[in-house]
Structure 1
Amino acid sequence: MKINYLICMLCLISIIGKAQQTNTPPAVGTWKIILKEDRELIKALKIYQQNNQWKALLGKTDLPVQYTQGKFIIDWKGKGAYFEGAFANNQQLIKGFWRQYQYVAPVKLTKTSQGWKGTREIQFKQLTIYLAIRKNKKTGELFSFIYNHERNQGNFIQITKVESKGNRVRLFGRNSKTPMFSGTFSKGGNILTMPINIQGMSGKVLRKVDPDKEVRARPRLGQKTYTYAQPKQINDGWETASLARTGANMDKIQALMDSILARKYFGLHSLVLVHNNQLVLDEYFYGHHREHLHDTRSAGKSLASTMIGLALDRNLLTNVDQKVVDLFPEYQGQIKNLDTRKKQMRIRDLMTMATGLACNDDDDKSPGNEGTMQDQTKQPDWVKYTLDLPMVREPGSKALYCTGGVNLLGQIVSNVSRQPTYEFLHKNLFEPLEIERYVMNTTPVNNGYLGGGIHMLPRDLAKFGQLFVNEGTWKGKRVISKKWVKEATKGHSTMNGAKYKNYGYNWWIQHYEVGGEKYKAFYASGNGGQLIFGVPKLNLVAVFNAGNYFWFGAWKHYIFDIMPNYIIPAIAKTKK
């Protein structure tokens, strides 16, 4: 993390809401603009029959649809959209998947008198940009920084210099002789016209706002003290209960929540707790809510290894020592850099990050770096891209974070099951867990991407954690074998210089000592603070979602502070 960015974020936390002083330039203040792609997140979808012909309607747009060999197919080439589905439940439903914009999501249409109706859901990019311009009290110089809760864009757009003269302002970046952004203020001083283009999204009108009235700039508007309430019982498969009635240490919960409201733990979007298979805490901040699909980033990697476990349970694979290259017959004779070491790479090496490939996400110069893989256009098949990487060491010898290797796991299961990755995952994991809504990333060649980034509901993420705390069961029904859960959540490799084996099969391992008691936890972890904790000794699941992308200094506190100092001691009291 860059030092200057840390300083700016500390400034943001402490002064973003302070009132503008008198006799200051018109530039000083907080300016807001929302950039978004031209697409609708959720849209009504209907498939119906008219004059013995099948038709489809998305919103008000007629779509071409075919019904052949028991499948409905919508191939909307003009918008790059594709749907494939089939009848289910004695034709009461049509179930399938909608692919578009490099995302895929499940679709369920229910029979009505007018046909089968439902919605198609996709993901779209939106950036809420807060541009804070402040005056240094000692020097009188202006300084500026950007706060963005969706993608933490201030980490990438670092403003190092501000020039303001009259009704004009210019913002400069690092090593920049020309301004990144230039704009003019309206006569009233409440509008800043300044063209902005970030991640392909454009806008030019920024409006001055009061951060104390902005839902995205405060944990909760107008609330400084927390009052606990039992989570709402909704039809999502969870039974809720009162944490206060379990005997938990509510002083710890109160102190934690008051600290979140006071912005001690900046950028935390949601916190969900499950104890003894009951959802006991369900809290959201910065405008987020329980129906908001949240990016999970690399926490989704734990789904990849789980697919391997599910495939083993179904005898689609024999063991985790099967050779990776042998499981990709479609590339036989085409894999580059195929030496003896690559031929020996096993499934377990992918899950423990010990691939031996020239693949290190923590090294920008590594050819297998996830960003390098996704930014290049020469090879759109990311599976083939990863398989082609040269070997730099023996597989299984050293663990380095390699997202490309994790993505191979999904395609292995797709190959042996002869199903798209997302279809296998949906049928064998999500449906048993009563998970109906999510949006999954796909690769440029329409494979489901298992490297991370699936968007899910926090309460559904807790189901995934509970499955593993329950050693593979959900509501008493076996979903995945107990043997797999035990193997997946024990340490197999050492990452980041840990003193013990702190990485399992795409699950991190953490040892806590609280109040003289030792607790082993496993957790899925994603950039920005996406965490799914399981603490079997307490029958506890904790789910965090946050927006501190590329700012580990902020979200590490969820792991090393909130868990041992608040959540574990709060729940541990119920055991005594």
Structure 2
Amino acid sequence: MNRCVKLLFAILTTLFPFTFLQAQHLVFLDHRPDTAVLQTYIQSYNIGSAQDLYVRLNTGKSLVEELQALAPEFPKDELIKHGNYQFRFLIDGKVIYKEDLGPGAILQKDKLINKPLDVVLASRTRSGLWSINLWDRFLSGGGAAVSGKNTSNLTLELRVYLDNGGLVYSGLLAKGILKVTTIPQAIDQTKIAPQVIQPGSGWELSKAKYNKALITEMNTKIEDQTYRLINGIVVIKDSQLLLEEYFNGEKRESLHDPRSVTKSITGTLIGMAIQDGFLKADQQQLKDFYPLKDFQNYSTTKDSVKLADLLTMSSAFDGNDDANVSPGSEDNMQETSDYIKFALNLPMDPKKTNGKQWSYFTAGMIILGDILEKSIPGGVESYAKRKLFDPLGIDQYEWFRAPKDQPYMGGGLKLRALDFAKYGQLYKNGGLWKGQRLIAEQWISKSFDHLQTLPPDRPGFYGYLFWNKAFNVNGKAYEVYYASGNGGNKIYIFKDQPLVIVVNASAYGRGFAHAQVDQLMEQYIIPAVR
């Protein structure tokens, strides 16, 4: 490498140990000891653009060395379990957002090695990273709104913290300053006004009035990416199609991946199988279906897990998708080649009691799906077609597949937005579709009942694989039952309003996904159509 280039790189690293990088100019060379990574530094960034944004962390010490300064007596492996970096985002000197990274953020090897760490904050192609979610939470926490269309100074400050029965923080270790703007991207003017509903929807069209100005404003913000990766919105009012909006290249015939919305459909199929006599009741226990002594971690607690416990996410399995360290998380399951064996091999959590506490457990859906597969002649896929999709007139769909080519009952069943609306309307109708009973009314009631109270970070209740909460609009509460999936996918069924609302979105793994849909509902959709 040219000696002058290496010298310049060394000077920049010394003067700007914590600075922003432009990913498309990030050049990786051969990683021999005599080479370095060349990077182009930027001084300004447009939040409204699709430009990637990286940051280089370099305090001159590894994370574990910084933590040792707070607690020299602690062993390294304990330090990294109880501490990490703290990020503070300031706009023009005012703290807008701060976050203590959880111990699971940043790879362990990167915590132990003293080297600059490049992390991505915004990316067009990557998702699900702790750093991207951090950036998204800063934006949804007020960052985008405060900076506005004018240029502001964004300061990013770095500290470390340690939680040893009480939080302890270091002093300021590094900071970087970047000029930011939120100039919106070019807008497709043909998608600003409410879109004209084309013939052939399969729905009777509504003649109800709605606030077109609010929908126009909402569409503008979706198009300029204030609300990101919103792909479809359908509103059914009084069983008629009122609004049908598509964005980001999607259209009526697009099959959309709703992720965990599929869990609610799994619950529907369990209810139908009980109604048809293939299953006896929701109180049946796992020992009725499996010789659990043939699996690992046998216990009578596992024997006594009821279908109802899995339907309410309240079994005592040691599984929680929201906890990185959980042995039964969906991420751990998807690294295996036999999902049902993985689920039934799991230990039981001695701190849990079947039916008494809620934790998000996708592996439970695999068990429910396998029980359906074993109990219904011809299997669950043909049963779903015959008993649910065909009666609803749904002929375009695509199952996500688990190993062994079984339908994955935990997520990924692709449908059209209008067909998600049919499913929602079926529940709104109490299980009836065009005069035909598809689901027992009692099952709908259980699905919507407040069977489990959700934790504080997810206010509301949980029934049989349906969520429940209330939106507040101008001081009035609007209670909804809803199916929900990663990325911001929703089917809302209103309790006291003649409304079913579908939102399809693809903000998978993004920290803003669900919060922005809440904003769309409270600020635009409900006020426009109620």
Task: Mark yes or no: TM-score above 0.5.
Answer: yes
Q: CA deviation at 1:462?
A: 0.9
Is contact 1:528-1:555 (8 Å) kept? yes
Counterpart-to-counterpart distance in 1, 2:132 and 2:529? 41
Report what 2:161 is aligned to: none
Partner of 1:58: none
Tell me the amino acid that sits aligned with residue 383 of structure 1. Answer: I
Q: Does the 8 Å contact 2:297/2:346 carry over to 1?
A: yes
* Structure 1 residue matching 2:254: 3-state secondary structure: coil
Matches of 2:272 and 2:223, distance apart in 1 = 40
4+ aligned runs moved over 6 Å, structure 1:
153-158
Residue of structure 2 in register with 1:570 after alignment: 528
1:239 to 186, 204, 210: 204
Given the alignment, which residue of 257, 263, 267 partners 1:305? 267
Percent of paired sites with the same residue = 32
Q: Which moved more, 1:439-448 or 1:300-309?
A: 439-448
- 2:194 paired residue number: 228
| 2-structure distance, mates of 1:268, 1:334 | 46
Measured at CA, do residues 336 and 499 of structure 1 come closer, stay the same or move farther in structure 2, by a change above 3 Å? closer
Tell me the equivalent position of 1:510: 469
Q: Give the aligned residue type for 1:367.
A: P
Change (3 A) 1:340 1:144: closer
What does residue 501 of structure 2 align with? 542
Residue of 306, 321, 325 corresponding to 1:346: 306
Whether contact under 8 Å (1:492, 1:501) holds in the other structure is no
Distance 1:399 1:271 in 2: 30
Instruction: Indicate whether 1:248 and 2:210 are aligned.
Output: yes
| Alignment RMSD (CA, Å) | 3.2
More deviation, 386-395/313-322: 313-322
The code of the aligned residue for 2:255 comes to L
Q: Which residue of 2 aligns with 1:356?
A: 316
Residue 269 of structure 1 aligns to a residue whose secondary structure is strand
Deviation at residue 499 of structure 1 after TM alignment: 8.7
Match of 1:390 among 347, 351, 364: 347
Tell me which amino acid in the other structure corresponds to 1:529: G
Partner of 1:188: none
Q: Is the 8 A contact 1:492 1:502 kept in 2?
A: yes
> Which runs of 5 or more structure 2 residues have no equivalent in the other structure?
1-18, 24-43, 53-119, 136-182
The amino acid that maps onto 2:238 is N
Q: Which residue type is aligned with residue 345 of structure 1? A: V
1:154-233 pair list within 5 angstroms? 222-223=188-189, 226-233=192-199
Calculate the TM-score normalised by the size of structure 2. 0.65
Which residue in the other structure is 1:35 paired with?
none
Task: Verify the 8 A CA contact 1:230 1:280 in the aligned structure 2.
Answer: no
TM-aligned CA distance change 1:387 to 1:144, over 3 Å = closer
- 1:562: Cα distance to partner? 1.6
- Checking the alignment, whether the CA contact within 8 Å between 1:491 and 1:502 is kept in structure 2 is yes
State which of 444, 447, 453 in structure 1 corresponds to 2:412: 453
Q: How many angstroms does 1:363 deviate by?
A: 1.6
Distance 1:460 1:144 in 2: 35
Is residue 335 from structure 1 mapped to residue 310 from structure 2 by the alignment?
no
Q: Secondary structure at the match of 1:301?
A: helix
Aligned to 1:317: 279
Secondary structure of the equivalent of 2:496? helix
How many angstroms apart in 2 are the aligned matches of 1:368 and 1:474?
37
Counterpart secondary structure, 1:281: strand
The aligned counterpart of 1:128 is none
Structure 2 CA distance for aligned equivalents of residues 350 and 147 of structure 1: 37
Aligned to 2:49: 15
Give, as a single letter, the amino acid of the residue that structure 1 aligns with 2:522.
P
Cα distance in 2 for partners of 1:486, 1:547 equals 30
Return closer, same or farther for 1:144/1:524 CA change in 2, 3 Å cut-off. Answer: closer
Per-residue CA deviation, residues 425-479 of structure 1 (Å, 9 max, x unaligned), is 1111111111111111222122211011112111111111111111111223211
Alpha carbons 1:469, 1:534 under 8 Å: kept? yes
SS at match of 1:511: strand
Q: Per the alignment, do residues 156 and 417 of structure 1 end up closer, same or farther by CA in structure 2, a change over 3 Å counting?
A: farther
Please point out which of 490, 499, 503 is paired with 1:531. Answer: 490
Q: Which residue of 2 aligns with 1:492?
A: 451
Letter in 1 for 2:198: K
Measure the CA separation in 2 of the matches of 1:248 and 1:223: 21
Preserved contact between residue 121 and residue 132 of structure 2 (Cα < 8 Å): no
Tell me if the contact between 1:248 and 1:571 (Cα under 8 Å) persists in the aligned partners: yes
Deviations 1:271-324 (A, max 9, x none): 111111111211111111111111111111101111111112112222211112
Cα offsets for 1:69-102 (capped at 9, x unmatched): xxxxxxxxxxxxxxxxxxxxxxxxxxxxxxxxxx
| Aligned amino acid, residue 288 of structure 1 | E
**What SS does the corresponding residue of 1:534 show, helix, strand or coil?**
strand
Pairwise CA distance, 1:144: 8.6
Q: Which amino acid aligns with 2:382?
A: E
Task: Report whether the alignment pairs 1:146 with 2:146.
Answer: no
Question: Is 1:469–2:444 an aligned residue pair?
Answer: no
Say which of 240, 255, 267 aligns to 1:293.
255
Could you tell me which residue of structure 2 aligns to residue 441 of structure 1?
400
Q: Structure 2: how far apart are the matches of 1:511 and 1:443?
A: 34
Q: CA deviation at 1:258?
A: 2.4
Q: CA deviation at 1:381?
A: 2.4
Residue by residue, what CA displacement relative to the aligned partner does 1:402-431 show, whole Å, maximum 9, x if unpaired? 000022112212222133221111111111
Deviation track 1:492-533 (CA, whole Å, cap 9, x = no partner) reads: 112232697511111110113334443210111111111111
Q: Give the corresponding residue for 2:233.
A: 271
Letter of the aligned partner of 1:326 in structure 2? D
TM-score (normalised: structure 1): 0.60
Answer whether contact 1:360 1:400 (CA < 8 A) is retained. Answer: yes
* Aligned residues of 2:192 and 2:216 also touching (Cα < 8 A): yes
Give the aligned residue type for 1:381.
Answer: D
Residue 237 to residue 356, structure 1, CA distance change in 2 (3 Å) = same
Structure 1: gaps of 5 or more residues: 19-142, 161-211
- Sort the Cα spacing of 1:448 and 1:554 in 2 relative to 1 into closer, same or farther, 3 A: closer
Query: How far 1:569 sits from its partner (Å)?
Result: 2.1
Q: Distance in 2 between matches of 1:542 and 1:11?
A: 36
Contact 1:350 1:405 in 2 (8 A): yes
Q: Which residue is equivalent to 2:373?
A: 414
Structure with the higher fraction of residues in strand conformation = 1
CA separation in 1, counterparts of 2:495 and 2:215? 20
CA distance in 1, matches of 2:257, 2:191: 28
Alignment partner of 2:233: what SS?
A: strand
Alignment partner of 2:388 out of 423, 429, 442: 429
CA positional deviation for 1:332: 5.5
CA distance in 1: counterparts of 2:295 and 2:514, whole angstroms: 39
5 Å-filtered alignment, 1:361-372, equals 361-372=321-332
- The one-letter code sitting in structure 1 at the alignment partner of 2:188 is G
SS in 2 for 1:358: coil
Q: Output the amino acid matched with 2:344.
A: L
Q: Structure 1 residues 324 and 12, CA, compared in 2 at 3 Å: closer, same or farther? A: farther
Do 1:311 and 1:317's aligned partners in 2 also have CA atoms closer than 8 Å?
yes
Q: State the shift of 1:555 in Å.
A: 3.1
* Alignment partners' CA distance in 1, 2:202 and 2:524: 27
Equivalent runs, 1:49-68 vs 2, <5 Å = none
Distance 1:237 1:534 in 2: 19
User: What SS class does the counterpart of residue 418 from structure 1 fall into?
Assistant: coil
Measured after TM superposition, the shift of residue 224 of structure 1 is 7.5
Q: Please report how far the alpha carbon of residue 375 of structure 1 lies from its aligned counterpart in structure 2 after TM superposition.
A: 0.9
The one-letter code sitting in structure 2 at the alignment partner of 1:312 is: I
SS in 2 for 1:440: coil
- Measure, in 1, the Cα distance between the counterparts of 2:226 and 2:208: 27
